[in-house]
Amino acid sequence: MNFSLITLLPIFLLLALVLVFVFRKALIQHIRSVGLKQRAYWLLSTIAFLWGTYFLWYLLNQSEWVPALQWPFLRGWSYDLLMFGCIAILLAALFLAKRLMVMTAGGYFIGLIGAIFFQTERFDPNRGVIVNNAPTLWAMIFIVFIIIGIVWEVTRFIRKIRKSS
């Protein structure tokens, strides 16, 4: 089965639409109260960190002077996760969900580090190839960080609504 993180995008969009519908009045008030300058600052800084992590990994992976750092099994996943993270950050910037933006960018970096240090390889006798679990570890750590960021933002927003009413 060929799995891509882009297949999870409709689920996250549906979840975002449900949250927008449930909290629409408070969200509109929150969006109007936050300035465009602050929203642009958070968006650009987290996207820059995300792309910086990707380019650092790419440069280390393509370097000939450090052959131990070449991980060919992560090549396809790195760009998919990067695009998924950019979409998540753009959606979070719409609502100025700072914690979600930081957790997304940090989850990409920590997921990469975790995949490098905790990977295992095994031989699959059915297919006759060596299978590595690093892409799965990277994706799972990244998704867990995004989910933690979503829960953190939603609980903070609900607490803010309860305090104001």
3-state SS string over the chain? CCCCHHHHHHHHHHHHHHHHHHCHHHHHHHHHHCCHHHHHHHHHHHHHHHHHHHHHHHHHHHCCCCHHHCCHHHHHHHHHHHHHHHHHHHHHHHCCCHHHHHHHHHHHHHHHHHHHHCCCEEEECCCCEEEECHHHHHHHHHHHHHHHHHHHHHHHHHHHHHHHC
Q: Calculate helix-pair angle for 75-94, 98-117, nearest 10 degrees.
A: 170
For the four alpha carbons of 141, 142, 146 and 149, in that order, the dihedral sign comes to: positive
Q: What is the pLDDT of residues 92-111, one digit of tens each?
A: 888 788 899 999 999 999 99
pLDDT at 112: 84
* Cut 0.85: pTM above it: no
Enumerate residues 6+ apart whose C-beta is below 8 A from 82: 50, 51, 54, 108
Cα–Cα distance for residue pair 101/150, rounded to 1 Å: 9
pLDDT at 152: 93
Rg for the chain (alpha carbons), in Å? 18
Query: Hey, what amino acid is at 138?
Result: W
pLDDT at 1: 40
Q: What is the pLDDT of residues 17-69, one digit of tens each?
A: 676 666 667 666 666 666 777 777 888 888 888 888 888 777 766 665 555 55
